[in-house]
Structure formats: C-alpha cells, structure tokens
Amino acid sequence: MNDSTRTLRRASVVSLSVLTGVNLLNYLDRYVVSALLPALQRAPMGLDDFQLGTLMSGFLIVYLLTAPIFGRLGDRGSRTRPIAIGVLIWSLATGLSGLAQNYVQLLGARAVVGIGEAAYGTIAPSLLADYFVRRTRGRAFAVFNMAIPVGAALGYIVGGIVLVHYGWRDAFYVAGIPGIGLAVWIWHLPDPPRGVHDSDDVSVAAGGGMALGVQPGSWAVYVRLLRQSPYLLTVLGYAAYTFAVGGLAVWMPTFLEQVRGVSTAQATEGFGAIVVITGFVGTFVGGWLGDYWLKFSRQAYLWMSGWATLLAVPATYLALASPSPSVFYAALVVAELLLFMSTGPINTAIVNLVSPAERACAVALSIFVIHALGDAISPTIIGGVSDATSLGAAVMIVPFVVVVSGLFWLWAARADAKAAAGLAPAQ
C-alpha cells in the first residue's frame, strides 16, 4: 500500500463527514425559504404568490444551466477547489438574502445560490466515489444522501424557530454562516487520483472508458454519455423517480388536508415526520443492501432500485386511493420507505457506470435531466390536472410514473449486464 492510498483511507471518513455536512446544509438552505414564505408576504417585502414561486424557479433554472459547466471543470482539474468555492458562493448568497431590500435583490441572491450548489452538486459525488472502494461505495453514498431528508426537515424547523424569535433575515444568516467554515475545510481535503479504487475492476463502466479523441471535461462527453444505453436508461428512470417524489413532496400535505380532511398542522408536520424517518432509514438500508448484493451482481444497485421501486407501487396507490387514515398513513410509510431505498444505490450506479474521468460530467448531466424532466414540471402538471379534474384524480399520476421508474432501472441493469458480458455494446 503506497503513502497516497494510506492517506486516502485515513481521510475518507473525515471527508465523507464534511461532504455530508455540506449536503445537509445544501437542503437546509433550499427549504428554509419555504418556512419564511408567510413572512416574505408581509411588509417590508410584500411579495405575492407568483414572486414567491419564482424564488425557487430562479434558483432551479440557474442550477440546471450551470451544472454542465461545473461538470466539465470537475473532470478537468482539482475537484476540492471548485467545490469549496461553490460552497462559499452559496453560503454568502444565502447570507446576502437576509440583506435584500426588495424582490429583485432577493431573487438575485437566490439565483446565485444555484451557481454555488451546481458546483457542489456535480463534483462532490465524483470526489466521494474516489474515497471509497466499490464494495463500500453504496453505503458511503447512502450516508451522504441521508442528509437530504434531514436537511430538508431542518430547513423548516430552523427557519420557523429563527423566524419566530428573531425574524426572517436572521434565518438566512443562520442558514448561510456554517457553510463558510465548511468551505475552508473542503479546500484542504485530499483530492485522490481519479479511479484510484477502480483501476483493477474490469467492470468500470462497461464500455465506459473515454472514447477515442474525447478529452475529459469536453462537451463531447455529454454527447457520448447520451449514447451509453445503461447510463441513459438509469438517468431516465431517475427522472421519473424525481417526478414522482417531487410531485408528492409538493402536493401531499395539500392532498391530505383537502381530500382526506386532515388538519393543516397534522398534514404538514405528520407528512414531514414521515419523510424524515423513512428517508433516514430507507436511504441507509438501501445503501447497505446494495453493497451486500454487489457481491453477487455488478448491477446490484440497479436491480435493487428497480425492484424496490416496483414494490412501492401498490403502497403508493393505497396511500393515494384509500379514504381510511389507518390505511393511507401505513401505506404512505411503506411507500416512502421503499422509494427512499433507491436514493443511495442509484447515485452510486451513476458514478459506477462511467469512467472515473467523466464522473462529474455524468452527475452534471443527470442533475440536468432529472430536474428538467422531474420535479421542475411534476408539481405544475399535477396542479394542471387538478384544475381540470380534481386533486384526488391528479395525484394518481404518481403511481404510474413510479412504475415507469422501476422498469427503466431494471432495463438499465439488463443492458449493463449484457454490455459487461460482451453481448451488446454499452453505447
């Protein structure tokens, strides 16, 4: 074992902790705005509903458009430096949100947050993949992604507490300041050689090596990735998954209140508690099972994600169709638990399906596709169908899309298995 490998192993746990902490702040920052919406409607900001909606839209548009740029940067040079700069940018922008005096300033600050999060979101998974060997990578990504439901819940909790005691401006300061310290820490994290734990693995992205004449970090990488069947099918399944989960996240509290007659407090707090608990448990269990089954199949992450998602379909349907609280709450817990089991494994599959030299680009393209085809449009589509019919009918889109997601992942697993066996080209 050489010195660089020993250093990498000693630093892996610390690095995972730092990156997970940043991921938690990432989602805390996104959802703290939701807790502050009522206050932003009052003086001095006095924003209307459309303006409030554009705060998330502005962030998301910038996030999507800049992700491919940072994907290229992440595959070309240092990964820790752009991540650190991105975290610093979004932390400062979050803090500046608290200084905004009008709608334009607040919208601009939230849009800049999208730049910082794009730098982190695209490059961090590539860095994390090189801290861990393939047999433990699923668990590492599970820990990393457990920060998503916890961070989202903390966004509501921290935002609400600070809002009540100090005001909405201070809530932005509290959400932004911790990231500055983590940005400094990330700057000094080791940046291991790309593929340091994959060099002896003949299955590194079956067909996932760089194509002749395609340089790491070039725009041509994105074209090549779209031609790689296992990767493309995985991302399309992830887009369907994001469509379903994003639609539920936005409309489930309203559905429980308007369609099932649950009180407002119970609908929001109860659903939030279910998401946190099932997200934490499901993500961890999914990562552990994916790593365990990797001993039997190189496509374990895809097979597990596909079957777990399909198993979630009946529970998802019951959660939306049954009028009985004892049934729909129990079904909702089962559905969310099974859906969250795919979070770690599917993100691990994405970095495993491509060569180490193109992982940041692969994550960047995935981010663009899953949001553009997923949660950026699902709330609007469900809302439009609800206006034309009813909310109870509109949410029934979700179980159908969950089926599509699971089938895509099983298809991707089969395509990758054939490519690995030399029966079919991977692209």
pLDDT tens track for 189-240: 988 888 877 765 544 444 444 444 456 667 889 999 999 999 999 999 999 9
pLDDT score for 40:
87
How many residues make up the chain in this entry? 427
For the whole model, what pTM was predicted?
0.83
pLDDT score for 215:
64
Where helices occur in 77-219 by DSSP H, the ranges are 80-97, 103-129, 134-165, 168-187
| Tokens standing for residue 279 | 């997200």
SS (H, E, C) 339-402: HHCCHHHHHHHHHHCCCHHHHHHHHHHHHHHHHHHHHCCHHHHHHHHHHHCCHHHHCCHHHHHH
Pairwise CA distance, residues 382 & 384, whole Å: 5
CB contact set of 124 (below 8 Å; sequence gap of 6+)? 19, 22, 23, 83, 144
> Domain spanning 3-187 has what CATH number?
1.20.1250.20
pLDDT score for 202:
42
* Residues with pLDDT less than 50, the chain: 202-213, 425-427
Where helices occur in 188-228 by DSSP H, the ranges are 220-226
- Whether 3-187 shares its CATH topology with 220-420 is answered yes
Pairwise CA distance, residues 301 & 285, whole Å: 12
Tell me how far CA of residue 213 lies from CA of 71, 209, 221, 334, in angstroms: 19, 12, 10, 48
CB contact set of 401 (below 8 Å; sequence gap of 6+)? 240, 243, 244, 247, 378
Q: Where are the domains of the chain?
A: 3-187, 220-420
Q: Mean of the per-residue pLDDT values for the chain?
A: 87
Pairwise CA distance, residues 290 & 278, whole Å: 17
Question: DSSP states of 303-333 as a string?
Answer: HHHHHHHHHHHHHHHHHHH---HHHHHHHHH
pLDDT score for 107:
92
Residue-wise pLDDT tens digits, 27-65: 888 888 877 877 888 878 888 877 877 887 788 889 988
Topology annotation, domain 220-420: Growth Hormone; Chain: A; (1.20.1250)
Pairwise CA distance, residues 289 & 345, whole Å: 9
CB contact set of 347 (below 8 Å; sequence gap of 6+)? 125, 141, 144, 145
Pairwise CA distance, residues 64 & 372, whole Å: 8
Rg (CA), the chain: 21
Pairwise CA distance, residues 370 & 401, whole Å: 13
pLDDT score for 4:
58
CA–centroid distance for 401 within its chain: 18
Report yes or no: 295 and 236 within 8 Å, Cβ to Cβ. no
Pairwise CA distance, residues 106 & 39, whole Å: 14
pLDDT score for 84:
96
